[in-house]
Chain A
Amino acid sequence: MREPVAPERSAGRIAVAMSGGVDSSVAALILHRQGESLVGLSLQLHDASGGESGRAGRCCSPRDFLDARLVAERVGFPFYVLNMEREFRRSVIDDFVREYREGRTPIPCAHCNTQVKFKDLLLRATTLGCQRLATGHYARLAWDPVAGRTRLMRARDREKDQSYFLFGLTPFQMDRALFPVGDLTKAAVRELAREAQLGVAEKPESMDLCFLPEGDPGGFLDRELAGEGPGEGEIVDGSGKVLGRHRGVHRYTVGQRRGLGIPGSDALYVLEIRAGEKRIVVGTREDQLRGGCHVPAPNWIGIDPVTKPVDALIQIRHRHPPAEGTLLPDARGGVAVRFREAQCAVAPGQAAVFYRDDLLLGGGFIHSAH
């Protein structure tokens, strides 16, 4: 952007991944105003046409494709819908189902970014003569001429920052990525859209996962896992005492409080999911505090892999206020994270992402909490 750029950031068309929302629309608008030649691409990730039960208003609905198409027409660049259902199924849905079945809490958006968008789509974009891919993510990229590499930073609008979902990018991918709205506040993005008279200027945000229009993974997972036999099991406390029954481990996540179905369970949280035993362990808010977690295979993008203890800010889920702590490298390339203050709901399957100030150092999936 305004910084000196990596060598790959040369001329040529730019592909813009367009969800039909205001952020990716304005990302395209900004690049167009910078004189770039664009190709807008919306991704058909799952069958949202839904026949007669058409689900409107989420990413991948015909309405969203039309919104993106109208932005492309208004701004003035070609636009296509690419079918990526197979890629999405392989990289996102299958993992999502597997993780829940095994008692973990997956982050589908992270896989969608690193696999579907910045791997599969980037590859397909090269066919269209595009070496670079822009998205509407709130994150910033900065070329570090001293280190000779591109760095990933939090967005200027901290409320909207999505760098957490991008920790898995590789240097190759970062050199080809563009996040044009990362320097703007959401309000400024909407203002730009309004000025340019884009129909999506006031479009509400989609908060749910795009493939779960009901917002609830339970029903989706029930369908996906139908045929695997009954998944019910026991709900126990820390001492092993049976407090109730549950409807399948895939219906629970660590840190969850509601829907446990135990009388007077308001103050109980899911502490641990033992998928092998079909057992859910619950406890009080205090019981769920964890001093650290194990990240076996972190991806280092801001610094070289750590070889000695390093202090960092650690974020363990999307909306988590980063916690201070130390990263302790182990002998197998993994990291033991030690929080300065114990944290709630440290959920295996989620990512622990490490920052120094705004700089994203690296991150990886949490294997276990302790």
Chain B
Amino acid sequence: MSEVYLDYNASAPVRPGVRDVVVRALEDRYGNPSSIHRPGHRAKVLLESARASVAELLGAQAEEIVFTSGGTESNNLALFGTMLPHLSGHLIVTAVEHSSVLQPADEMERRGFRVSRAAPDQDGWVSPGAILSQVAGDTRLVSVMHSNHEVGTLQEVSAVAAGLRGGGALLHCDAVQSAGKVPLDVTTLGADLLSLSAHKLGAPAGVGALWIRRGVRLSPLIRGGSQETNRRAGTQALALIAGFGEAARLARQELTEEATRLLELRTRLEENLAAVFPQVRIHGRSRPRLPGTTHFALPGLRGEDLVTALDLEGVAVSTGSACTAGTVRPSHVLQAMGCTPEEVECSLRVSLGYKSQPEDLVRLLTALRQIASRMVPLAVGGD
């Protein structure tokens, strides 16, 4: 039985072209990019060409890109790096951010900073007004994700940027899920910092980037070397970075076509879902969303059990909120959106990517129908 992988928002399979670039880098580019000799020089050239490719995906300048260990580090660097040099101040985040934004925010609150968390509407969309109305004289940073990792809802980052213009606050945007899926252009977005992750693009995990607008000051989290223009010490993971660069190049090349294709696939999937399960509730459906992401509740059918049963049928999907032990916690995103406990518990996320084909969705629907027929409806909150 072939495996159907429909969890691209968690991690995308490494693209064959990316794999080749990574392997070549491992074989030929063994030098330290900071070294003087020719092996070092060759490594440096590869590093900088990857940086240029990543920058190009965003319409950014190469020197504005800092490579990190991934999206989580990028978000931590953006938040701590801009807030901690101040002894006090105010941070605004949305309540639907990834935990790599929310938990640094919690930590800063413990350290005496003031934190506001803007609430979303029932589609996971946070109105710019809900964010801007919280801005105060001491607001130093606003962090708004480009699109939500669970539901896929796109946020209006440019509108937030416009509202902040002229004030003292910086704007950070977690674009980990959007990169390569929807157009991103930092020259028009209006943000000051933007986080990326390589493995969502089909490169290996373990590398990411933070775009830092020229002139924005930021204190490093990791010290001990002058790499990445003093903003992130440590020898660069060159092979991974090379793969990141190649994935960014491919993503940029295919973006328009791929976005259209995935949107069509998803639309068909959602139509079929509604036909098979009239009770289905698609989260965020009345707002613009990422093209390949759908997150829906099937009331009465526990999401965790559906994921497990689907996996036994060879179909890999997610409940949307991953957890370390391999078990599921209620999604803070769905909770913030005001979903009922049953909707939170009975939700499933399907995220498509470059390998996804119509047959995959047929497999998913067939398996879902079969599993639902043997499932005993869940009684939430006692029996």
Same assembly: yes
Is B48 in contact with chain A by the CB < 8 A criterion?
A: no
Task: Say yes or no for A354: interface residue by CB 8 A criterion.
Answer: no
Given known A-B contacts A83-B304, A123-B376, A128 and B325 have beta carbons under 8 A apart: no
A172 within 8 A of B: no
Contact B324 A128 (CB under 8 A): no
Given A69, A82, A126, which contacts B375 in the complex, CB threshold below 8 Å? Answer: A126
Contacts of B329 in A (CB 8 A): 83
B312/A39 in contact, CB under 8 A: yes
Return B68 CB to nearest CB of chain A, in Å: 24
Interface residues of B in 60-84 (CB under 8 A from A): none
B298 to chain A, nearest CB (A): 12
B327 at the interface (CB under 8 A from A): yes
Flag if A80 contacts B308 (CB, 8 Å). yes
A126 to B374 CA separation, bound complex (whole angstroms): 7
- Choice from B306, B308, B312, B324 contacting A82 with Cβ under 8 Å: B308
Closest to B324 in A: A49
A48-73 interface with B by 8 A CB criterion: 49, 62, 65, 69
User: For A129, what are the chain B residues with a Cβ–Cβ distance below 8 Å?
Assistant: 309, 312, 374
Say if the beta carbon of B10 comes within 8 Å of chain A.
Answer: no
User: In the bound complex, what is the Cα–Cα distance between A128 and B310 (angstroms)?
Assistant: 8
- Chain B residue with minimal CB distance to A119? B383
- Asked if A128 and B327 make an inter-chain contact with CB atoms under 8 angstroms apart, the answer reads no
Q: Which residue of A is nearest B372, CB measured?
A: A127
In the complex, B233 has a CB within 8 A of chain A: no
Which B residues lie within 8 Å of A39 (CB)? 312
- Give min CB distance, A306 to chain B, whole Å: 31
Q: Is B371 an interface residue (CB 8 A)?
A: yes
In-complex Cβ contact of B327 among A13, A78, A82, A127 (8 A):
A82
CB of A81 within 8 A of CB of B325, answer yes
Near B by CB (< 8 A), chain A positions 146-184 give none
Chain A residues, Cβ within 8 Å of B311: 78, 80
0/1 interface trace, chain B 152-190, chain A, CB 8 Å (1 if under): 000000000000000000000000000000000000000
B308-335: CB near A (< 8 Å → 1, else 0) gives 1101100000000000111111000000
Q: A126 contacts which chain B residues (CB < 8 A)?
A: 374-376
Instruction: Indicate if the CB atoms of A82 and B309 lie closer than 8 Å.
Output: no
Q: A39-B312, A78-B312, A90-B382 are in contact. Are A124 and B305 (CB under 8 A)?
A: yes
Q: Let me know if A128 and B305 touch, CB within 8 A.
A: yes
Please count the residue pairs between chain A and chain B whose beta carbons lie under 8 angstroms apart in the complex: 50
**B347 CB → nearest A CB, Å:** 14
Closest to B371 in A: A127
CB distance from A123 to the nearest CB of B (A): 5
What's the least CB distance linking B192 to chain A, in Å?
Answer: 33
Does B326 lie within 8 Å of A49, measured CB to CB?
no
B322 to chain A, nearest CB (A): 12
Contact A127 B325, CB 8 Å, known A82-B304, A83-B304, A90-B382: no
What are the residues of chain A within 8 A of B327 when measuring CB–CB? 44, 81-83
Report chain A residues within 8 Å CB of B382.
Answer: 90
A49 touching B325 in the complex, CB below 8 Å, given contacts A126-B375, A129-B374? yes
Q: With the chains together, A119 CA to B375 CA distance in Å?
A: 14
B312 near A65 (CB under 8 angstroms)? no
Of all chain B residues, which has the CB nearest A128?
A: B309
Within 8 A of A (CB), among B345-379: 371, 374-376
Q: Are A80 and B374 in contact (CB under 8 A)?
A: no
Output the least CB separation between A152 and chain B (Å). 25
* B332 CB to nearest A CB, Å: 15
Q: Is the CB of B328 within 8 A of A128?
A: no
| Bound-complex Cα distance A83 to B306 (A) | 13
Contact A128 B376 (CB under 8 A): no
Most A-side CB within 10 Å, residue of B306, B311, B312, B327:
B327
Question: Which residue of chain B has the shortest Cβ distance to A62 in the bound complex?
Answer: B325
Chain B residues near A78: list those with CB within 8 A.
311-312
Give the docked Cα–Cα distance between A245 and B329 (Å). 43
Cβ-defined contact, A127 with B309, below 8 A: yes
Q: Residue on B with the closest CB to A41?
A: B308
A65 cross-chain contacts in B, Cβ below 8 A: 325-326
0/1 interface trace, chain B 278-312, chain A, CB 8 Å (1 if under):
00000000000000000000000010111011011
Nearest CB on B from A172, distance (A): 14
Q: Are A83 and B328 in contact (CB under 8 A)?
A: yes
Q: Determine the residue in chain A with the shortest Cβ distance to B381.
A: A86
On chain B, the residues within 8 Å of A81 by CB distance are 325-327
Q: Mark A91-130, 1 if CB is under 8 A from B, else 0.
A: 0000000000000000000000000000000011011110
B348: min CB distance to chain A, Å: 13
Cβ-defined partner of A80 (8 Å) among B324, B326, B371, B376: B326
* Chain B residues with CB below 8 A from A62, complex form: 324-325
Task: For the complex formed, measure the closest distance between the CB of A55 and the CB atoms of chain B, giving whole angstroms.
Answer: 13
Complex CA–CA separation, A173 to B325 (angstroms): 29
Cβ-defined contact, A44 with B309, below 8 A = no
Instruction: Please indicate the chain B residues that have their CB under 8 angstroms from the CB of A49 in the complex.
Output: 324-325
B374: chain A residues within 8 A (beta carbon): 126-127, 129
Interface centre among A83, A90, A123 (most CB of B within 10 A): A83
Q: Which residue of B lies closest to A91 (CB)?
A: B383
Complex alpha-carbon distance, A62 and B325, angstroms: 6
Task: Give the chain B neighbours of A80 by CB distance below 8 A.
Answer: 308, 311, 326
A127 near B305 with CB under 8 A, answer yes
From B324, B328, B376, A127 is in contact (CB under 8 Å) with B376
Q: Which of A44, A90, A127 contacts B308 (CB 8 A)?
A: A127
In chain A, what residue has the closest Cβ to B376? A123
B93 to chain A, nearest CB (A): 22
User: What residues of A have a CB within 8 angstroms of the CB of B308 in the complex?
Assistant: 80, 82, 127-128
A91 smallest CB distance to B (angstroms) = 10
14 CB < 8 A contacts A-B: A49-B325, A69-B326, A78-B311, A78-B312, A81-B325, A82-B304, A82-B305, A83-B328, A90-B382, A126-B374, A127-B309, A128-B309, A129-B312, A129-B374
Chain A residues proximal to chain B, CB less than 8 Å: 13, 39, 44, 49, 62, 65, 69, 78, 80-83, 90, 123-124, 126-129
With A44-B325, A80-B326, A127-B374 already in contact, 18 other A-B pairs whose C-beta atoms are closer than 8 Å: A39-B312, A44-B327, A49-B324, A62-B325, A65-B326, A80-B311, A81-B325, A81-B327, A82-B304, A90-B382, A123-B376, A126-B375, A126-B376, A127-B305, A127-B375, A127-B376, A128-B308, A128-B309
* Residues of B bordering A, CB below 8 Å: 302, 304-306, 308-309, 311-312, 324-329, 371, 374-376, 382
Nearest 8 A-B pairs (CB), nearest first? Answer: A83-B327, A81-B327, A81-B326, A44-B327, A127-B305, A127-B375, A80-B308, A127-B309
